[in-house]
Structure formats: structure tokens, C-alpha cells
Chains A and B, each alone.
Chain A
Amino acid sequence: MPATHEQRAADAMTDRIDLPQGTLDLLILKSLSLGAQHGWAISERIRQVTGAALEVPQGSLYPALHRLERRGWIRASWGTSDNNRKAKYYQLTRVGTKQFAAGTAAWAKLTEAVQHVLRMA
């Protein structure tokens, strides 16, 4: 069975999900550090801030949110959105806040180290 056009397109799409491990988590935590948000708002915020540089496939946000919830870093509750509809809001837990700080520091260290290496080369 030859690979169809659609299949290749799907492959391309999955390529884009391939953010560095844990990056998406960090972006989510960053968005939530400013206050409770629902999924779409998180996705919009990431899009606005990163612009075209880093496109996050919208769908992959939700598995990540559920994973973070299971770990206890964020907490979910149903609330009412600005246009008066029911929406699921996420907020950082105390563990999540700590993890965000640790993750930010680690990321900074990593990028610094990588840049250092790249500059040397």
C-alpha cells in the first residue's frame, strides 16, 4: 500500500509536535503562573508570545494538561468564561509553582550551556 498524500501530511504534522521534551510543560506552567486559565486561553497566550517562531499544535496541549494534572502540578475546576460559557480552568498548585521555578532555572542553565558550546565551536 503506497503512502498517500494525506499520510505524508499527517507525518509532517506530527513532526511539529516534536518540541524538546518538557518544553510544552514549561510553557503551560509559565502561562498559568499569571493566573488561572482555560485551555484555549493558554494556547492563545503561547501563540501570542512565541508568534510564528514556535507553533504549538493546539490539540497536543490537552494530553499535556492532563499529564500535569495527574502529577499534581496544576489543578482543574469548572468555571464560567468571559463570554458566559462553562469552561475548564487550570491553575498552578503549590507543587506546580515550585516545579515551574525549578524548570525555569534548569532551562536557563541548559540554554546557556548550549549557547556556550555553540559559541565556542
Chain B
Amino acid sequence: MLADLRYRLRALFRRAAVERELDAELRFHIEREMEKHVRSGLTWAEAEVRARREFGGHDVIREQARDARGVGWVDSVVSDVRYAWRSLRTRPAFAVGVVLTLGLGTGANAAMFGIVDRLLFRAPAYLWDAERVHRFYGTYLWNGALLTERSYEYRRYQDLQRSATAFDALAVAETRQVAVGSGEAMREMTVMIASASMFGMFDVRPVLGRFFTEAEDGLPVGESVVVLSHAYWQSTFGGRADALGQSISVGDGVYTVVGVAPAGFIGFSETEVPALFVPVTTFAWHTAPDFADHYGWSWLEIFMRRRPDVSVAAANADITRAYAQSWERQRDGATNFPTAADAAVRAEAGPVLLGRGPMAGPEAKVIAWVMGVAVIVLLVACANVVNLLLARSVTRRREVALRLALGVSRYRLVQQLMTETMLLAVLGGMVGLAAAQWGGRTVRSLFLQDDSLGAVAGDMRTLLFTAAITLLLALMTGLAPALQALRADVAGTLKAGGRDTGYRASALRSGLLLLQGVLSVVLLVGAGLFVRSLHNVRSLRLGYDIDPVVLVNATLRGVELDRAGAFALMDRVLEAAQAVPGVRLATPVVSVPFWSNEGRGPPHVPGRDSLARLGRFILQAGTPDYFDALGTRILQGRGFTSADRADAPPVTVVSQAMADALWPGMNAVGRQMRIGNDTMPFLTVVGVAEPMRGLRLENEAEYWYFLPLEQYRKLFRAPHGRLLVRVNGRAQDFVEALRARLQQEMPGSSYVTVMPLRTLVVPEQRAWQFGATMFLAFAVLALVLAAIGLYSVVAYAVAARTRELGVRIALGASLVAVARQVIGQGVYFAVAGIVLGGAIALAAARWVEPLLFDTPARDPLVFAVVTGILLVVALLATVRPALRATRVDPTVALRTE
């Protein structure tokens, strides 16, 4: 076996030497034979003739010896590839068309695959035994609503650690934007806050130093140690070993570097790339020293590694039991808190990947759809290429017949044709990878924060996927032409001589064309629906203006301020902000839409109960400038005035949705409600504001109520560190000016971060943005491919029917009639595509609708526009062949006979 392999390898790679040896061997034989003949009396010349004749053809022997050496097939493949390359070069337009078509189809899929793989299939990098690692999801009934959560308290993590038995490791992790560094070098960075046990779930070793240990992640407070990501180590310390032992300010603490993680390690993060890793108990203690004592701070995601001998079902049962016990511990006998049984408490050891879990957002669904769309584009490309190859194989019929007549076996012929499509597919695959590498960057930036997460080239899985697609394409596109070659009628074709054997409309070609039309219509409808959704989501009135508003977030660090001091600081910051040129109005706030909303539970309204069941109540506070600064319209009553002081009667403004829910059919102005327990005063509703949205864009009841800032401070005595600032012009133009000015007000190492409000809203629109962009790009791609397909088929038909057209024109057919016939063919395909594709789109409406934003999946406008587009494209694709048909000169056409 081994000897065989060695022999073949030598035959393959030292082929020149091997061939030389064979020649020497054969020459030796002939010479000895000649000597023998000469000895028996022949002349040298006669002896040579005789020896050579008896020996047989040199080339045949050499060929047979090559086969015997087991490398003959390599030669035939090499010569097939050369032949294919030559024949493609004779028709460069055809070759370039096919390669580009396949390249775009492959590229679309390769680009999408990278994202789909990361969000839905690929386990986090370095994860050890990924099938056994789960993310914790808890479900419970709360005020009649079934809620699923994945963010939990540190205390809960401890409870589960104590009671769960089905797991050999538990860990918590969370990424946050935290101020890193100090002074001018301070930047907000993604920091992973994790338990020391997290590292044990990964098959990973630090490239320098060590990871932090369980002892450094202890209670009540862990050590101030930090592990650097590889990228941060490179960018900040230039990859130097003396990074160990250095100090870095992270949030409120100063941490010592103990190690560096290897490149590509991002822990359990999915779309964010942490720069640093810090122990959870250290970080949490800086925020709230009592973090491990209560159930009041849900912020950590819990990860669990199932024991190898435990099934997923058993693990779910075990973790549900542990969660119920923890729930009872939290309840601690309280009567106003439902029991675990009443709350139907349940837990799930779910998939690690969020996109696969029970809380997957619309992105996961949209991305799966877009992947499907990419596959459809590939099908359209494939149909197109098959069509082109078929058209080519018709013109090559004579060549094929001639070669068959000359004794080339059909097997060899098919092998040769398949080699040609394989070559085309491989070239297409390479173009596709290039396209994915180049165009995919844009696509990825819509979904992944860091580009390095989704690079195409160098990613083994994407490369393998692309190779598999390429192979599949070669088989799919090569099959039809090869079968046609097998069926070739040798005698008939040769008898027909140089003339074409007449035009026959091929059912297969028409079918492929129709398929392209149908798929294009389906994609166009999808694109239209997503574009409409994006438009709707963008023009959705959220209850406030977005573009001219800037968010300022002040973070205290290294200073101790009492409440009065903190309020005074915010007043100074507000004053400074108002003085920045271009700023129109500014107000401190306690809630920021899509970022951080203050909830203090449902209000108490006389005569109403179970208000929590209605939905989420969000508390906002602001100065009398609030409503003007945010552009929030007051529909009834009034906003706040400077008279609404701390000592004035407490008032509130409610959003219209809240007014309708609390006082249905009544005038809300003048009604009373109370926040919190009965020691709190009643608030009088003085105004109703327009409906508000700050949690989710999709329909979900959100009830907002507003308090004058001074009354808020008096009632809740809670510090607040945020401003919303309305500027004249674009928000991003004021970010740096505001940051520079307000930073001067911050004491110690405290700092402000400033960003346009839009940056908080854009991620919420991402699913539709992505859907619209990708659907549109792919639909246009499919349409262009279909148009090329239609053009090539119609143009071919016109060329093949030149004689027939000549006869008809000679017999007096009007040019208009001829043109109409050609264009009619295109329109026929367009109409058939619209009808069939439209029917499919209508049927699929049920499944698409949940992905859309406020757009019916059977939107007549979309269908009408798509119909129009398809007809126009069909006309454009057929107009040139139609013109050519009218220019057929009957005398010339008939003379070619």
C-alpha cells in the first residue's frame, strides 16, 4: 500500500525522470533485439525495421506504461483542463458572463454564510465541548404575563451553584461599555465582567501571564486584576511582556494586569469584542458593595456546563428545580410575592447562541430569511448558467458529433464537458470569494461590531462552504449539457453539415427562464416589503425628536458627593451645556430611550388594580424645558412650568397611551395617581403627551409619565447623571464641543460621554435596515441575472430563426409584427413570472408578515411596482433582439441556404 503510494508519487512528481528511464529501457530492448537480428544475418537497417515492427508503437507502449503506473488520469485531467481553457478563451464574453454570474451567486452566499454561521451555528471561539455548554433562561408568570429573562443577579448565580447538580461548572459573564484609562487617554471600551470559572469553560491558555483565579474572584470583593485581550495588548502595550504588572483605570477602580488572552478570544460575547476581562466580584463591588446580598440587580448572564452523563432533559429538570428553590429563597415567606408554583417558574439550559435561544430578536429571523434569499439568488444564477451552457451546447453539437464519430468515448466526452463546467465553477468560486471579501465588509458592519469577527478569507468554514457550493454548482450546471451530449445524434448532426438543424424551443430552457422570472418576482416583492418596513420604521413617530438631540452621560469616579452635591454638579453641567453655542435647550433626565429607562412599577390609581398587567410603566423627569427640548407634543392640558417647584403641589404629565389605559373614555387631566407605597403623595395629572416609545419599536404597550425634575428630586432623592440637549443643526456636529466643555465641570477623574440620540435608535432599526438592504441588493442581482437570461434566450432564438424571419419578411410580414412577436416572447415570460411569483409571494405572506414593520405582506403598492419593474425589464431585455429581427434582410437570409 505504502510502496504503491510512493511509486505513484514518484511517477507523478518525478515524471520527467520516470519517462526518461522508460525511454532508456525501451531503447536498450530495441538495440539488443537489433544485435540479435544482425547476428542472424540482417543488415543494421533491416534489423532496426524488424525490431521496431515487432516491438510495437513506442507512443502506445509509453501511454500504456503511464496507465500502468497509475497516473494516466492525471494526464487526462490536465489535458481536459487545457482543452477547456482553450475553448473558453475562444469565447471570452461567454466565459466572463458565466464566471461573473456564478461569482455573484457564490459571493452572496459566502458573505451571508459568515454571518449566519456566527450568529446561529458556530460555537464561541475556543469553547470546550460546546454541546455541553448552555445559557440560562428563566421563565415565570408575573401579573398575568409570562416573562422570559436571561439577565440575573449575582445572588441567583450563587443559589444555582449551590442547588444545581447536573452541571460541572457555572459561570457568569456580561459585557459593558466602561471608561478605561484616565485623563485625555480615557476611552469607553467593551469590558467583559466574568467569573473566574468562565475561563475553565474554554480550551484556552493565556499567551502571557495567567487568567484571574477563583481566589481573586471571591466575596465580598475580588482582587483588582485584569486580563487584557490580545488586540488591546497589541494596541496599547505594543505586545510587550512588561505589560504584566501595569495599572489600568477601569470604571471606578484601578486594576493590575495579570495576563493576556490569545487572539480571537472573546469569551461568551457574540457581537462585541471585549478589550479587557475583569473579575465579577471586583467590578460589582465598585458599583454596589452589597451586590451579593440581594436580588435587586439583574445584569449577569449565566452559563452552565452540563455533566457528560446528564441528558439535556434531565439538566432542564434539575435547573428548573434549582431555580424554583432560589425563587422561594427570594420570596422568603413574603405574602405579596407569588410562590414558585403560582408563578409557574421554569428554567431552561438553552443554547449558548442567542440567535438559537428562546429570546432571539428579529435579527435572527431576518438573517435566516436573507440567507434563504441568497440561496435563491444562487438558484437564479445557476439557472442562467445552465441556459447559457445549453445554448452553447446547441452550437457545439457538430463538434461533439464529430468527436464521437472519431471514436472519442462518450464517457471521455462527458468527462471533458464536466471539466469545463468545473473550471467555470472554480473560477466563479474565486470571484465569489473576492466579492464576499470586498462587499461582505459592508454587510457584516450591519451586524457585527468588529470586522475581524467575520472576515471571509482565512475563515476555514466559509472557505469550505464556498468550495462545497462551487462543487454543487459544477454538478448542477454541468449535468444538462453533459446529458445532451450523451444523447447526441451523430449521423443526423453530421448530415446536416454546417447548417443549423433548425430552431427548436427547448422546454428545459423555457422552464429555467420561467424559474428565474418567478424567483425574481418573489425576491422583488420581499425587497419591496422590507423597504416599506424600513420606511415605516424610520418615519415612526416615537413621541420625541431624534436628529437634533444629543445625550450627555456624566459618570462620577474617584469623588464622594452627597446628594445635594450631586444635584448641584448636574445643575452646573446643565448651565454649561446651555451656554455652548448652538445649543437651544437642555434638560436633565432620568430615562433615556432605548438605553436606560427608569421603572418604578405601576402607579396606584384609586379604583383600579392589577395595572402591571397592562404593560411597562416608565418614569421620566425634566425641567420645564423638557417637552420643547425633546419636541414632545402636549395634546391636552399643559407641560411643566417654573411654578412646578419642589414645594408646589406635585403634578405629572402622562403619555396618551397611559391616559387611555388608566382612565379609558375619560379626561385624564385633573385625575390623581400615586407612585410607590402609601407614604408617597398623590400626583395630579396636568397634561397628556403624545404616545411614547423608548423600549421597543414593535407594538408593545409603553406607558410614560413625566415629573418635574425638582419634584422628582424631592420625592425619590435619587441621583441622576444624564442630560438631553437640543441643538441647532445636526447632533453629531456638537458632540465634541459639548464633551470638551462639560468635561471641565467634572471633578476628580469623573468624566462625561456624549453621543447623538440617533445612535441609540439606529440599532433598533437594524433588523429592517438589514432586511431592506440585503433583500434589495439580492433582488436586483436576481433581476439582472434573469434579464441577462431572457436576453440571451431571445437573442439566440432570433439568430437561430434568421431564415424563418427572412421568409416571413419576404412574404410581406410587417416589421412591427415581427418585432411584436419577439418582444411578446419576453412579455410572455414576464407575465408568467409575475403571476406565478406573485402567487408564491401571496402564499408566503403569512410567514413574512411578523418580520415586517407595520406593513401588510400583501401590500398592493409593492405588488404593483414589482409588476411594472418586471415588464419594463422584459421590454429592455428583448428590444435589441427585436430590432435585430426587423433588420433581417430576406435576400441575405435566404442566400445563406
A contact residues vs B (CB 8 Å cutoff): 13, 38-40, 43, 57-60, 62-64, 66-67, 69-72, 81, 85-88
Contacts and interface: CB of A to CB of B under 8 A. Distances in A.
A75 B26 CA distance: 17
Contacts of A64: 68
Contact of A62 (B3, B4, B22): B22
Given A43-B29, A62-B26, A87-B28, A70 B67 contact: no
Per DSSP, chain B at the interface is: helix
16 contacts: A40-B29, A57-B55, A57-B56, A59-B60, A60-B64, A62-B22, A62-B26, A62-B29, A62-B65, A63-B64, A63-B65, A66-B22, A67-B68, A70-B69, A72-B7, A87-B28
A62 B61 contact: yes
A62 B24 CA distance: 12
A63 B29 contact: no
A67 B64 CA distance: 10
B56 A13 contact: yes
Nearest to A13: B56
A106 B314 CA distance: 63
B560 interface: no
B65 A66 contact: yes
Of B4, B24, B55, most buried by chain A (CB within 10 Å of CB) is B55
B356 interface: no
A99 B193 CA distance: 70
Interface string B34-73: 0000000000000000000011111011001101111000
A50 B11 CA distance: 33
B54 A62 contact: no
B61 A72 contact: no
Nearest to A68: B68
Interface string B461-498: 00000000000000000000000000000000000000
A66 B28 contact: no
A85 B64 contact: no
Contacts of B4: 70-72
Contacts of B55: 57-59
Contacts of A88: 21, 24-25, 28
B33 interface: yes
Contact of B56 (A38, A39, A58, A71): A58
B15 to A, nearest CB: 13
A87 B24 CA distance: 8
Contact of B25 (A13, A57, A62, A67): A62
Contacts of A38: 28
Interface string B597-614: 000000000000000000
Nearest to B61: A59
B392 interface: no
Given A69-B7, A70-B7, A39 B61 contact: no
Contacts of B32: 40
Nearest to A41: B32
Contacts of B8: 70
Given A62-B65, A67-B69, A70-B68, 4 more contacts: A40-B32, A60-B64, A69-B7, A72-B4
Interface residues of B, number: 28
Given A39-B28, A70-B7, A72-B3, A63 B21 contact: no
Contact of A59 (B11, B28, B57): B57
Given A66-B65, A70-B7, A86-B24, A60 B70 contact: no
Q: Across chains A and B, which 3 residue pairs bring their CB atoms closest together, nearest first?
A: A59-B56, A63-B64, A67-B68
Residue of A62, A67, A71, A88 most packed against chain B (CB within 10 A): A62
Nearest to B32: A40
A16 to B, nearest CB: 10
A81 B27 CA distance: 14
Contacts of B31: 85
Task: Give the residue among A38, A66, A69 with the most B Cβ atoms within 10 A.
Answer: A66
B565 to A, nearest CB: 91
The interface centre, meaning the residue of B25, B31, B55, B65 with most chain A CB atoms within 10 A of its CB, is: B25
B67 A63 contact: yes
Nearest to A59: B56
A111 B286 CA distance: 96
B424 to A, nearest CB: 34
Contacts of A67: 68-69
Nearest to B18: A66
Nearest to A87: B28
A13 B69 CA distance: 23
B65 A40 contact: no
Nearest to B11: A70
A70 B60 CA distance: 19
Contact of A60 (B3, B56, B67): B56
A58 B57 CA distance: 10
Nearest to A70: B7
A56 to B, nearest CB: 10
A58 B69 contact: no
Contacts of A72: 3-4, 7
A85 B24 CA distance: 11
Nearest to A58: B55
Contacts of A62: 22, 25-26, 29, 61, 64-65
B27 to A, nearest CB: 10
Nearest to A73: B3
Contacts of B24: 86, 88
Contacts of A86: 24, 28
Contacts of B70: 70
Nearest to B56: A59
A60 B61 contact: yes
B29 A39 contact: yes
Given A58-B33, A70-B8, A63 B68 contact: yes
Contacts of A87: 25, 28
B61 A63 contact: yes
A119 B68 CA distance: 38
Contacts of B25: 39, 62, 87-88
A59 B56 CA distance: 6
B66 to A, nearest CB: 8
Contacts of A40: 28-29, 32-33
A55 to B, nearest CB: 9
B170 to A, nearest CB: 59
A43 B30 CA distance: 11
Q: Which of B11, B24, B29, B57 has the most CB of A within 10 A?
A: B29
Contacts of A63: 61, 64-65, 67-68
Contact of A58 (B3, B11, B29, B68): B29
Interface in B62-114: 64-65, 67-70
A81 B25 CA distance: 12
Interface string B524-547: 000000000000000000000000
Interface in B132-190: none
Contacts of B67: 63
Nearest to A67: B68
B670 to A, nearest CB: 102
Contacts of B11: 70
B820 to A, nearest CB: 49
Nearest to B51: A58
Contacts of A60: 56, 61, 64
A63 B11 CA distance: 13
Interface in B784-830: none
Nearest to B5: A70
